[in-house]
Chains A and B, each alone.
Chain A
Amino acid sequence: MENRINKIFVKNFRGLVDLELNKLNRINVLVGDNNSGKTSFLECIKLISNPNLNNAITMCTTRTKQLRAGSFFTEFINMLPKRDNSGINISCIFDSGNELKYRLNGNVVQTLINPIEMSEYIKIIKFDSMQNISQFNGKIGYDFYNKNTQDIKKNEQEIKLNAFNAFNYRSFKGKSNLMKVAYISPVDYAGINRSFDIIIKNEKYKEIVIESLKIFDPYIEDILYMKDDFGDPIECVKNSKVGIIPLSCYGDGVKKLLSVAGGIASANNGILLIDEFETAIHIKNYDDVFNFVDKACEKFNVQLFITTHSIEAVDELLKIDSLVENSDINFITLRKDYDLNKTVSRTLSAREVRENRKNFDFEVRL
């Protein structure tokens, strides 16, 4: 399995066009105006980590969890560039020297489906005539070039996707996992995925996470599951002043840290993506929280991509001397240039950003 991306070229994905990043580091901080493509970039990495149709369909709904979503089909179509039929095209080179080229393209046509097939899709309705529906006909595939053996593994899957069969594809079978990638969205911490579970299972890690939670509440002593009256497990926190209370009683800071800690664990020897790193974290805690994230990612060999809007968060990162001295962190500014019709980027080392901020209050985010 690959565990670190060295270079990435996003020819086409959502709003990203011709984005080329050649200097990726252990920690990459993406900054940029609203709508510059930061979240899309993180999604790219998640998309190519598991280059099959199942993952593509799962990916397309990551943004619509809180909104009323169109069907999977509509969301899937929305992921493809609207300008032309070129489809999604992403390639990257890993630290190992291996290369991956990912493509997804096709077009939407009107198709007639016979009633028997329709009934397979929606079992509880009896169809008696041909149905005219929109269908996406295309291909998804990837080429994987192995530097050692010098051979190229090609894989291609045909797609015939419509609103009715879309969730059949949404299975998690197919272990073509090229990389372990964990993604934490700005609103994820409210649900914290399986982070709680992952942390509790590892006694030593749990100890460290609890110590880190004390950043937010020095009286936190333990995290555990309690059973409710139905026998269902509830995530709880043991507080030396208040006793055992549900995690839901705590503010978003604690939930966020748990979410991130779980993310680091599931992304060990892989890649962790944190969108809007500073959300729910008070500025005075940035340094402690980030030190935890940095040390844990370093120890567990996790490549980190984070996005942020906050210049205070950037300045806090720049205060961590070890990171700046070791050149472990890059700041990447994304910008949509409508004249050039591409997404341009500027990669600076932490040292450069620190010097520029000191010398002329450099606005690294734009």
Chain B
Amino acid sequence: MNSQWVAVIVTSVLCYAIKYIGHAIPEIWLAHPRVQRITNLIPIVLLSSLVAMQAFTTKTKFVVDHRLAGIAVAIVALGAKLPFPAVVIGAMATSAIMYRLKI
């Protein structure tokens, strides 16, 4: 078996184990109000930083490019309460146009 398959299989197994462990942690550990407040905040902080990484970095370097216009359109669309598909398609179309125009 080559090294690519080793990496593919081992990472897949470990990542599933992580997902499962999260679900299997006994509820009693999570009953404390402080733990509740923190676990409630966790998806927010992870997703916010994920947006920052996906929209404004390339290979871990801070970059501002065509993606900024796409994200700006998404935020304006959200503020205008447009339906979800319009938000995403608007962002994708804007980003693609900016990219093709080399802005």
Are A and B interaction partners? no
A binding-site residues for B, Cβ under 8 Å:
none
